[in-house]
């Protein structure tokens, strides 16, 4: 499929790379490049945003479909796989994925990339503490390098964050590395400076703000 490759980095491109880091994959199969984005099937409204983003960036209209446990698209394009690879995204497994250097050099690109990662691999939890709703934004990954990159960016942006590892009894499950920020002030700071384009996260946040106002 013919795609248009961007001539220069942009905020939208940084966000799309964050989405790919979270829920994307790519590789060459029999010398044919294939890019896939697959999200939770309950988040179809967010996939509509991703589809519009792909059109804006690459001038390609992707065909959305359901898998057994996911919803998204596959796009066959050697040019797009080669472009993403040259810009810092890996082929195949993402066990040691990093945030690309061109993103880490620019604060606005950093924020856009984190927004894409949060909207795919992150969660806004609302739990009870002292009988009141208490929010927590959390991102987890099997890539320790990715969590280190996210930690460095958030600390430089003056966020207060926690780090830990989750080990599982099942030997086939890989250790997950987790980063989180907690409390109203930190979540408000995230939404003000980084934000979200996932309707699921926005709905949770709006409910939280409603509760917080009383």
Residue-wise pLDDT for 8-65, tens only, equals: 999 999 999 999 999 999 999 999 999 999 999 999 999 999 999 999 999 999 999 9
Q: In what order do the strands lie in the sheet with 65-66?
A: 24-29, 32-39, 71-76, 65-66
Q: Which CATH superfamily is domain 11-93 in?
A: Homing endonucleases (3.10.28.10)
The whole-number pLDDT of residue 212 equals 56
Q: Which class does domain 116-212 fall in?
A: alpha beta
Residue range(s) of every CATH 3.10.28.10 domain in the chain: 11-93, 116-212
CA-based nearest residue to 145, from 101, 114, 187, 177: 177
Residue 130: per-residue pLDDT: 76
Evaluate if residue 132 carries a pLDDT over 90.
no
Distance linking the first and last C-alpha atoms of the chain: 53
The reported pLDDT for the residue numbered 214 is 44
Rounded to an integer, the average pLDDT of 125-140 is 86
How much is the average pLDDT of 176-189?
94
Enter the pTM of the model.
0.93
76-106 pLDDT tens trace? 999 999 999 999 999 999 989 999 999 999 9
Query: What confidence score (pLDDT) does residue 68 get?
Result: 79
pLDDT at 158: 97
pLDDT at residue number 67: 85
């Amino acid at each position: 499929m013919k795609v248009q490759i961007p001539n220069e980095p942009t905020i939208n491109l940084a966000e799309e790379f964050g989405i790919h880091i979270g829920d994307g994959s790519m590789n060459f199969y029999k010398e044919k490049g294939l890019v896939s984005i697959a999200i939770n099937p309950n988040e179809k409204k967010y996939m509509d945003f991703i589809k519009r983003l792909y059109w804006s960036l690459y001038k390609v209209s992707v065909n959305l479909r359901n898998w057994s446990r996911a919803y998204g698209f596959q796009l066959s394009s050697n040019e797009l796989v080669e472009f993403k690879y040259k810009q810092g995204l890996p082929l195949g497994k993402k066990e040691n994925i990093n945030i690309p250097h061109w993103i880490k050099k620019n604060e606005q690109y950093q924020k856009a990339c984190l927004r894409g990662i949060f909207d795919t691999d992150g969660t806004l939890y609302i739990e009870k503490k002292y009988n009141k709703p208490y929010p927590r934004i959390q991102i987890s990954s099997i890539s320790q390098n990715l969590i280190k990159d996210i930690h460095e960016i958030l600390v430089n942006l003056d966020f207060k964050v926690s780090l830990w590892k989750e080990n599982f009894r099942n030997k086939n499950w890989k250790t997950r590395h987790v980063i989180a920020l907690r409390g109203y002030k930190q979540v408000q700071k995230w939404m003000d400076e980084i934000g979200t384009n996932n309707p699921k996260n926005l709905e949770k946040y709006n409910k939280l703000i409603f509760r917080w106002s009383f």
